[in-house]
Amino acid sequence: MKLPASWLAIPADSDFSLYNLPFGIFSRNSDEPRVGVAIGEYIIDMSAAAQLGILSGAEVAVSVFQSPTLNALMALGRPVARRLREFLQQQLTQRHSSLHKLAAEVLVPQAEALMHLPIAIGDYTDFYSSIEHATNVGKLFRPDNPLMPNWRHLPVAYHGRASSVVVSGTPIRRPNGQILPPGAEVPVFSPSRALDYELELGFVIGKDSKLGESVSAEDAEDYIFGCVLVNDWSARDIQRWEYQPLGPFLSKNFATSISPWVVTLDALEAFRVAGPTQEPTPLPYLQTRGELNFDLELSVAIGTGTSTETIISRTNARHLYWNVRQQLAHHTITGCNLRVGDLLATGTISGPETGDDYAPNGCLLELTRGGQQPVQLADGTTRTYLEDGDEVILRGYAEREGVRVGFGEVRGRVC
Ligand code: MN
């Protein structure tokens, strides 16, 4: 559905078009963090809009928009957020609408706002759903048998750490830990020398499920409010020494960055595509049909502070082998309950080699073949893993027939 033009000037290449309207938490001049909606280069201050009566038709209590997280809004259910988004689309396209008349009191330039972590995250689960990533990493350790026997039967995951999920822009401290030097038999204690990023998407849960009950793949999207970009920072040397037999622990618990704007599933609806063919056919509870992947262009850039950033990878979320319905059905098949604010990330997103100028790899472990093939940056330096002062910038957007819906960025600088 094509919308009329807005009375507000929205740059044509903006991630935050009329078709997006993602939710976030912002403040300005050290005032109270509150709910905002991104549009072009502005934020609609939803708390101010509600207090001025602009949102009176939405039947949402003002306190929901004064909250420092999106949890209360999400808990009202997807239909409420859907109505709000459609209402704002009307207000932004009708001249002399309430929002137009009161724009000076309600629109905040993004350049003047501080963005906050948008969600109180209760639990964070990270999957491993890219077959290209799992295969490329598996080859480094098991050249003849890269995929584990379970991989094509279930969406592999680990339970991550929610307390250290931070918003874009938060500095990332290089972790210390135990590392086994090459050829050594006992570990040393050291700052990580193999700090890496992981390019991922995260799905935010907007509805509780009941303990003891599983959510079917068919119903799974009712439980998802929206989507963010995720950087799952990883210390590969700590990981290598600790990960057997129970998986990653300290190598990933020190920080995970997310983008400040939560893009609703409704905004991504127009960008659905079918995922890859799954062979063998999964067990019945994991069987899905239809266009369940999203056509999202993703990129990774590194900025060194001394030069312009270098884009080092490009890929697309459409390549993910396991889709979010399957991830959610698998997560709850035991009766494990989901709660509003839980974060389910896809795992590193890589894709097939396309032969263009950009590698399709979502982390340095994969891109540098385990640190063996350095990547070149614009300032003439090379990287195998991240150095202090490096800034990692992940971006993602969808575009079709002139309609663009994007996530903006998630940034983090290593210190
Ligand atoms: Mn990960």
Q: Do 362 and 344 share a structural domain?
A: yes
Phi and psi at residue 345, to the nearest 5°:
-100, 155
Sign of CA dihedral 192, 195, 198, 199: positive
Query: Of 41, 385, 359, which Cα lies nearest the Cα of 194?
Result: 385
Q: For residues 319 and 366, what is the distance between their CA atoms, to the nearest angstrom? A: 16
Answer yes or no: is pLDDT of 307 > 80: no
**Structural domain contains residue 244:** yes
Q: What is residue 245's predicted lDDT score, i.e. its pLDDT?
A: 93
Q: Please determine, for residue 356, whether its predicted confidence score (pLDDT) is greater than 90.
A: no
pLDDT in tens, 151-172: 999 999 999 999 999 999 999 9
Per the structure, the count of domains in the chain is: 2
Task: Give the C-alpha distances (Å, rounded to integers) separating 318 from 117, 147, 235, 301, 329.
Answer: 27, 20, 27, 20, 19
pLDDT band at 246 (very low <50, low <70, confident <90, very high): very high
57: CATH: 2.30.30.230
Beta bridge partners of 42: 39, 109
CB 245, CB 6: distance < 8 Å: no
Q: How many Å apart are CA 89 and CA 85, to the nearest integer?
A: 6
For the cut 80, the answer to whether the pLDDT of residue 326 exceeds it is yes
Average pLDDT, integer, range 374-382: 94
227 and 301 share one domain:
yes
The single residue of 96, 100, 116, 133 carrying the catalytic annotation is: 133
Cα 198 to averaged position of ligand 1 atoms, centre (Å): 6
386 has a pLDDT exceeding 80:
yes
**Sign (positive or negative) of CA dihedral 75, 106, 109, 100:** positive
State the amino acid at position 256 in one-letter form: T
Domain of residue 206, CATH code: 3.90.850.10
Q: Which pLDDT belongs to residue 112?
A: 98
Pick from 82, 186, 68: nearest CA to 117: 68
Q: Is residue 69 part of a domain?
A: yes
> Residue 308 and residue 367: Cα distance in Å, rounded?
21
In a domain? residue 158: yes
- In this structure, is residue 7 part of a structural domain? no
Please check whether residue 269 lies inside any domain of the structure: yes
Assess if residue 339 is contained within a domain.
Answer: yes
Q: Are 130 and 112 members of one domain?
A: no
Give pLDDT, residue 411. 98
Does 205 share its domain with 232?
yes
Ligand 1 center to 62 CA (angstroms) = 37
Same domain assignment for residues 177 and 212: yes
Q: Are residues 191 and 230 in the same domain?
A: yes
Q: How far is the CA of 230 from the centre of ligand 1 (A)?
A: 9
β-pair type (199-205, 224-231): antiparallel
Residue the block writes with tokens 């063998």: 280
Q: Which pLDDT band holds residue 265 (cuts at 50, 70, 90)?
A: very high
**SS3 letters across the chain:** CCCCCCCCCCCCCCCECCCCCCEEEEECCCCCCEEEEEECCEEEEHHHHHHCCCCHHHCCCHHHHHCCCCHHHHHCCHHHHHHHHHHHHHHHHCCCCHHHHCHHHHEEEHHHCEEECCCCCCCEEEECCCHHHHHHHHHHHCCCCCCCCCCCCCCCEEECCCCCEEECCCCECCCEEEECCCCCCCCEEEECCCEECCEEEEEEECCCCCCCCCCCCCCHHHHEEEEEEEECCEEHHHHHHHCCCCCCCCCCCCCEEECCCEEEHHHHHHHEECCCCCCCCCCHHHCCCCCCEECCEEEEEEECCCCCCEEEEEEEHHHCCCCHHHHHHHHCCCCCCCCCCCEEECCCCCCCCCCCCCECCCCHHHHCCCCCCCEECCCCCEECCCCCCCEEEEEEEEEECCEEEEEEEEEEEEC
Distance from the alpha carbon of residue 8 to the mean position of ligand 1, in angstroms: 38
Domain that holds residue 308: 124-413
Identify whether residues 204 and 331 lie together within a single domain: yes
Residue 93 has pLDDT above 80, yes or no: yes
The predicted pLDDT at position 306 comes to 72
Q: d(Cα 129, Cα 61) in Å, to the nearest integer?
A: 39
What is the model's pTM? 0.97
Same domain flag for 314 and 385:
yes
Give the residue carrying structure tokens 């890859």.
Answer: 276
Distance 43 CA to ligand 1 centre (A): 30
- 17 within some domain: no
Distance from the alpha carbon of residue 4 to the mean position of ligand 1, in angstroms: 40
Domain identity same for 296 and 334: yes
**pLDDT tens, residue by residue, 28-72:** 999 999 999 999 999 999 999 999 999 988 889 999 999 999 999
Is residue 6 included in any domain, yes or no?
Answer: no
What is the pLDDT at residue 355?
A: 82
CA distance 294 to 317: 6
pLDDT in tens, 96-125: 999 999 999 999 999 999 999 999 999 999
* Domain end residue (candidates: 116, 144, 171): 116
Distance 250 CA to ligand 1 centre (A): 13
Measured in angstroms, how far is the CA atom of residue 86 from the centroid of ligand 1?
Answer: 34
Mean pLDDT of all residues belonging to the chain: 97
Half-sphere exposure of 283 (CA within 13 A, CB side): 10
φ/ψ of 237, rounded to 5, equals -70, -40
Mean pLDDT (whole number) for 231-256: 96
Domain boundary among 98, 116, 134: 116
Q: Are residues 222 and 322 in the same domain?
A: yes
User: Do residues 42 and 100 share a domain?
Assistant: yes
Q: State yes or no: is 133 an active-site residue.
A: yes
Separation between Cα atoms, residue 12 and residue 404, nearest integer Å: 8
pLDDT of residue 205: 98
92/134 same-domain check:
no
For 180-207, write each residue's pLDDT tens digit.
999 999 999 999 999 999 999 999 999 9
How remote is the CA of residue 309 from the centroid of ligand 1, in Å?
23
Measured in Å, residue 106 CA sits from the centre of ligand 1 at 38
Q: How far is 142 from 136, CA to CA, in rounded Å?
A: 10
Last residue of some domain: 80, 100, 116?
116
Residue 142: which pLDDT band, with cuts at 50, 70 and 90? confident
